[in-house]
Structure 1
Amino acid sequence: MQLLNQAFAWLSERYFGGIPADNIAIIVGVLLSYALAHVFRRIPADMPAARHVFSVVSSVISYGIVQGHSTGVVHLAVGSIAIYILMCNLRGPAMPRAVFLAAMVHMSYSHIRRQMSEAVSGRIEQDYTGAQMVFVMKVTSLANCIHDGQRGDRDTLTGYQRKNAIRGVPGLLEYLGYVFFFPAFAIGPAFEMATYRRMVTVDSRCVASQLTRRAYKRLVESLVWMAVYVRFSHVTFAEMVSNHDMYARRSFVVNAFHLCAAGLVARAAFYTAWKMSEGACILAGLGFDGFDAEGNAQWMDIANIHVRGVELGTSLREMVDSWNIGTNVWLRHHVYLRVSPPRPAGSARTSSTRVTLLTFLVSAWWHGFYPGYYLTFMMGALASSAARVLRRNLRPLVVPTTDGAAGQCTRRQAAVKAVYDFVGWLLGLYTLSFLGAPFMLMWARPSLLLWRYNYFALPLAVLAIFVAFNIPSVKRRLRQATLRAAVQATE
């Protein structure tokens, strides 16, 4: 193990610009998954037990030995068995709630232990908490899916819940194969048990060339983003905080540009890891969904990130929906809709803003206990709500929606819409970087200092939006302007 650590440190210093050696270990572990995926795919689909065993053993080798997280493997193995016992012995709504609480409390212990260790050493370390976060998503979603499959009121389930419902607790070997699926074990993407079952039981050898092409396309994309990260790894939020005298004197525009540049470099690291892991999952067969009636291969979208949607999205919502998709899906279907399920028309419903804030708090809890995480997610909840208010009130002025004008657009309206989209893209990227800074800095003091360089632009803008759009005279003028825009669109 010591020899591997020395090798990763040498690679970091020689070829990767001095980035942390544990990041190199993650990359090597994921690249090893590509070789293992070629073997996994060749195991016959009528031998699912062999695939489960291979997946578990591969995760132990790749994560426990190559990446040096043997303690993490033990933690996750013990946690897996404890969760499985809860699933087998509890019934009704109590089961998914108990699984959620047990998994989150166990992960909280790991987060606190890591945070205390880093406070003493002063060094940010990559430990097994990342894999445990993926584990929590899998077991809590599985618990909900088992509960959905056993409910008598299946008509009240959403389409997503009916599609992924599981009628009974899976066997122990299948459960461990799902939890320890080796290409996604360390960094995701997370997916439902129903998706794993389709992958294990569908023979993907007939589309081997397509899987290989799709997988290595993701690998090439991840290597491009790795080059961006290594080349500009010195452009960070921490670098801005450390040069306090310089950035405190600079203008808002210059600091905003540097903030967005640092945000891009930080996202490049995530793109590298997620795209590399996504490719390994595809190579193993995840995402192939058999053939349709015409004999054409069907594919599921298992991406954890849509880079184009994040970097070129024209609204904050589009950017957020394209980022960390597996976590967004989990938060939506296994947190948000569990707290505020769809209700019949006319019935009372929980406040959308309140449930959104609760969901963001669960997301922050899931990430850990650094104060920066809570700054990011609480501010993110408020920024998302403010963005919805802006879109609801301003978009009808730019894109009138009337029956007579549906699909019609004058040259002037097209130009206004282009400006609207450009401003939305610019503000969205700035908001992402503004919110991402506390997440990467982790502590409140440097985060607030960096926000001060940017004149607390986002919190003040959110406050201004909530105040302005709740003034009666502003609401009245907006309604009048919307009506005029609709009339002009029909002329």
Structure 2
Amino acid sequence: MALFDKFFMKISINTGGLALDHLKIVFTLILAYPLALIYKNLIFYQSLKHLFSISFAIFVFFAIFDLADAFYGMLFSSLLTYAIMYNVKGIWGPRIVFLCVLVQLSFSHISRQYEDASDKFDSTGPLMVLVIKLTSFAFSVYDGQRPSHELSPDQKLNSIHVMPSILEFLGYVFFLGGFLLGPAFNFMEYQQFVNMEMFRIESEYATNGDVKQLQQKSINKKNNNNIKGEKNVQTNIQTNFQTFVYKKDGETFSKFPKYYIPNGFIPAMSKLLNGLFCIVCMVSVGNKYSYDWALSEEFKSISFLNRFLYIQMAALCARFKYYIVWLIAEGACILSGLGFNGYDEEGIIKWDRVTNIEIAAYELADNIRSLLETWNKKTNQWLKNYVYLRLTPPGKKPTFLSTFTTFVTSAIWHGFYPGYYLTFISGAFFQSLHRKFRRHVRPIFLAPRFAHLKSLYDFLGWLATQSIINYLVIPFNLLTLKNSLQVWSNLYFCGHLVILFSHIAFLLGAGIVCKRIVSVGGGYVETDKVIMKKKKILISKH
């Protein structure tokens, strides 16, 4: 029994029987907030920061979750990765690491599935985050050995030219803001965060006018955060924005500190409050729309429309648990300073470095591509940068091997429940359908004659996308083949029929009909957004 189990049992009883593991997860995520403040404001030396994170991870695994084996397993994989990348040069280093960590994760998934512990917190969640961190680290070390002209801009940014110390590496692995359930991030982001390079101001000297402009940009209406600086990175002394005036050749100049750490308290608290709001929603509404009830005889007895609407609400409630974890974890990273991502063109501070979910964008997405781009973003970036693009030669189009390997890697990373694969495979057909609609149907509503109907098209796109996605993720939540097919059959496989008949319609010539309608409507007219996107692509090529 973990050290604090009695404490969590009392809370569980007083809150109507909430699951102990769920309470522990939320408690741990919230506990990271005061620790993030200590990490940022009271720990001055890099080595102590690494030790602080490692100590917190040990406390969580041993005292809160009673998962000592999980900690030892993560520690073993981390040290093995470090040893492989220290000794094995060339492409085989990251390949061996990728194989080793995926095998370890697969054993954890299989054990979890065999024990039927899908609702229990074990080592699987932290291992999923660890796989992302260790494989990205391995490839970044490999990139540091390659010639610069062979690297993409992202690879140059994250390449590691000097192996870090084991302490720094473990500090990255067990960073207090993301070791449990994410968010994941690259090693160089962590290193530049700890050594303060993330907060460096490029120019050390500026005229008074430039300083005032910097102040004006940094203290803005949206976040009203005063920029804070660091005069000495070794002693980590934080001060308010200060300038040191001096004169040279009759002109007044100002010298200001090299490092400025923005105050992330307000955006961090916003994430925390949104996460707590999601907890309230899940507790108050979630039990009323459980997927388990969709397996009952009573569910079969209600009308098809009510069944379909119930599934829509069940999918929404199921997303709350992801929103809770991702939002609260991101807030802790922001509070520590890791969430800082520079400034936009207007000088407004960006706190989206470790953003994993954009709730509004997801819930309002009118096509599957936009929807998936806002969901589990750090995992999608990992699959793109360290699987998909690694198998695509520079300057060439992705091959079937790239797509297939990325799909297989994503599937293994999630686990081996049949429900995952039913959702992924069905989703692939839906994505293919989206591309056809975007290529053939969307231009109709960009033609001058039908442009006034574009809002209707967007609304119908949102309704179809959200409805079909909520239908397709049923197996992702029910996990087993039997239960998934049972609920789908109770819905008459309506989502699959829509996808199937739409594909058939395009095979029979719907695309040609759409082109004729476009010509009747005055031809396809590109929007300003599309034109700007093409200009950016053209500029990047040159």
For normalisation by structure 2, the TM-score amounts to: 0.80
Contact 2:293 2:299 in 1 (8 A): yes
Contact 2:2 2:62 in 1 (8 A): no
Among 493, 496, 502, the residue aligned to 1:459: 496
Residue 404 of structure 1: aligned partner = none
Among 272, 276, 279, the residue aligned to 1:226: 279
Detail structure 1 runs of 4+ shifted over 4 Å in the superposition.
Answer: 203-209, 289-300
Assess, with a 3 A threshold, how the Cα gap between structure 1 residues 218 and 112 changes in structure 2: closer, same or farther. same
CA displacement at 1:432 relative to structure 2: 2.6
Among 237, 240, 263, the residue aligned to 1:210: 263
CA displacement at 1:168 relative to structure 2: 3.5
Write out per-residue CA displacement over residues 168-192 of structure 1, whole angstroms, 9 at most, x where no aligned residue: 3322111111111111111111111
Contact 2:2 2:66 in 1 (8 A): no
Task: Give 1:15-414 correspondences, 5 Å limit.
Answer: 15=15, 17-43=16-42, 47-118=45-116, 124-152=119-147, 154-202=148-196, 205=238, 210-243=263-296, 245-289=297-341, 299-344=351-396, 349-351=398-400, 355-400=402-447, 413-414=451-452
Unaligned runs of 5+ in 1: 401-408
Assess, with a 3 A threshold, how the Cα gap between structure 1 residues 311 and 487 changes in structure 2: closer, same or farther. closer
Contact 2:446 2:525 in 1 (8 A): no
Contact 1:64 1:72 in 2 (8 A): no
Contact 1:363 1:377 in 2 (8 A): no
For 1:488 and 1:300, the matched residues in 2 are separated by 35
For 1:163 and 1:335, the matched residues in 2 are separated by 17
Bigger mean CA offset, 328-337 vs 6-15: 6-15
Quick one: which amino acid aligns to residue 314 of structure 2?
A
For 2:273 and 2:314, the matched residues in 1 are separated by 23
For 1:364 and 1:97, the matched residues in 2 are separated by 18
CA displacement at 1:236 relative to structure 2: 4.2
Quick one: which amino acid aligns to residue 74 of structure 2?
L
Quick one: which amino acid aligns to residue 89 of structure 1?
N
Contact 2:444 2:524 in 1 (8 A): no
Among 469, 478, 483, the residue aligned to 2:519: 483
For 1:195 and 1:72, the matched residues in 2 are separated by 25
Write out per-residue CA displacement over residues 277-298 of structure 1, whole angstroms, 9 at most, x where no aligned residue: 1111111111225689999756
Quick one: which amino acid aligns to residue 452 of structure 1?
S
Contact 1:48 1:200 in 2 (8 A): yes
CA displacement at 1:486 relative to structure 2: 4.0
For 1:376 and 1:294, the matched residues in 2 are separated by 41
SS state at 1:133 partner: helix
SS state at 1:150 partner: coil
Contact 1:199 1:287 in 2 (8 A): no
For 1:295 and 1:220, the matched residues in 2 are separated by 26
- CA-based RMSD of the aligned residues comes to 2.5
Quick one: which amino acid aligns to residue 270 of structure 1?
Y
Bigger mean CA offset, 250-259 vs 297-306: 297-306
CA displacement at 1:138 relative to structure 2: 0.5
Write out per-residue CA displacement over residues 390-433 of structure 1, whole angstroms, 9 at most, x where no aligned residue: 22221111124xxxxxxxx67x623x111111111112222332
Quick one: which amino acid aligns to residue 235 of structure 1?
K
CA displacement at 1:301 relative to structure 2: 3.0
Write out per-residue CA displacement over residues 64-92 of structure 1, whole angstroms, 9 at most, x where no aligned residue: 32233222111101111111111111121
CA displacement at 1:127 relative to structure 2: 0.6
Percent same amino acid at aligned positions? Answer: 33
Bigger mean CA offset, 312-321 vs 262-271: 312-321
For 1:294 and 1:123, the matched residues in 2 are separated by 46
Structure number with higher relative contact order (C-alpha < 8 Å, ≥ 6 residues apart): 1
Contact 1:237 1:262 in 2 (8 A): yes
CA displacement at 1:274 relative to structure 2: 0.8
For normalisation by structure 1, the TM-score amounts to: 0.88
SS state at 2:99 partner: helix
Assess, with a 3 A threshold, how the Cα gap between structure 1 residues 455 and 355 changes in structure 2: closer, same or farther. farther
For 1:127 and 1:417, the matched residues in 2 are separated by 48
Among 468, 474, 485, the residue aligned to 2:510: 474
For 2:436 and 2:347, the matched residues in 1 are separated by 46
Among 455, 466, 490, the residue aligned to 1:418: 455
For 1:199 and 1:177, the matched residues in 2 are separated by 12
CA displacement at 1:372 relative to structure 2: 1.1
Contact 1:232 1:265 in 2 (8 A): yes
SS state at 2:416 partner: coil
CA displacement at 1:271 relative to structure 2: 0.5
For 2:153 and 2:501, the matched residues in 1 are separated by 38
Write out per-residue CA displacement over residues 207-266 of structure 1, whole angstroms, 9 at most, x where no aligned residue: 7772111111110010001100011121345333332x2222333322221111001111
